[in-house]
Amino acid sequence: MEVIKTKKENFTIRFAEKSDMALILNFIRELADYENLLDEVVATEEVLMDSLFHRKAAEVIIGEYNGEPIGFALFFHNFSTFLGKPGIYLEDLYIKLEMRGNGYGRTLLAFLADLALKRNCGRFEWWCLDWNKSSIDFYKSIGAISMEDWTVYRMTDKALEDLAKEFYTR
């Protein structure tokens, strides 16, 4: 396991391993609880194992302070047809409440920005809840811009199944 030193004293970053499934799921639940969405978490360690390590649908980095995990970021590649290049999409970034305000989240973002450049990506993107003013202010302070002319659309469950059925009923 490669541990990457950062400019933050005693703070390191590493890519998650299979043995981190319980930790990752715990971070996901803590994040969901913070966002008042805990009841929406249906992921299991088995599902995460399949998605992250067998299908390689996403990647996870773990931030550690003095060797103890304090946060994570889960990301994957998307693609911009306009740029003709992949991008990195940050699905989740989480730092334990008691460790916030010390620059660890910013360091994880900086690592991912550097990774995007190393992988020749054209963009680094994420969503933020409209009510999360502290995060919005932080993102703006590092030069991120909101895409206010765009609306996110999502299909899940029955709507997704119903549309998929149209493919077979023609």
Catalytic residue among 65, 104, 139, 153: 139
Confidence category of residue 169, pLDDT binned at 50, 70, 90: low
CA distances from 141 to 94, 95, 107, 134 (A): 18, 18, 14, 11
Domain 3-168 has CATH 3.40.50.360: no
- Contacts for 33 with CB less than 8 Å, ≥ 6 apart: none
pLDDT for the residue 1: 86
Residue type for position 7: K
Handedness of CA 78, 81, 85, 87 (dihedral sign): negative
pLDDT(117) > 70: yes
Percent of the chain with pLDDT over 70: 99
Reported as a single tens digit per residue, the pLDDT across 50-108 is 999 999 999 999 999 999 999 999 999 999 999 999 999 999 999 999 999 999 999 99
Extents of the domains making up the chain: 3-168
94 is catalytic: no
Strand order from edge to edge, sheet including 59-65: 3-5, 11-15, 59-65, 68-80, 85-95, 123-126
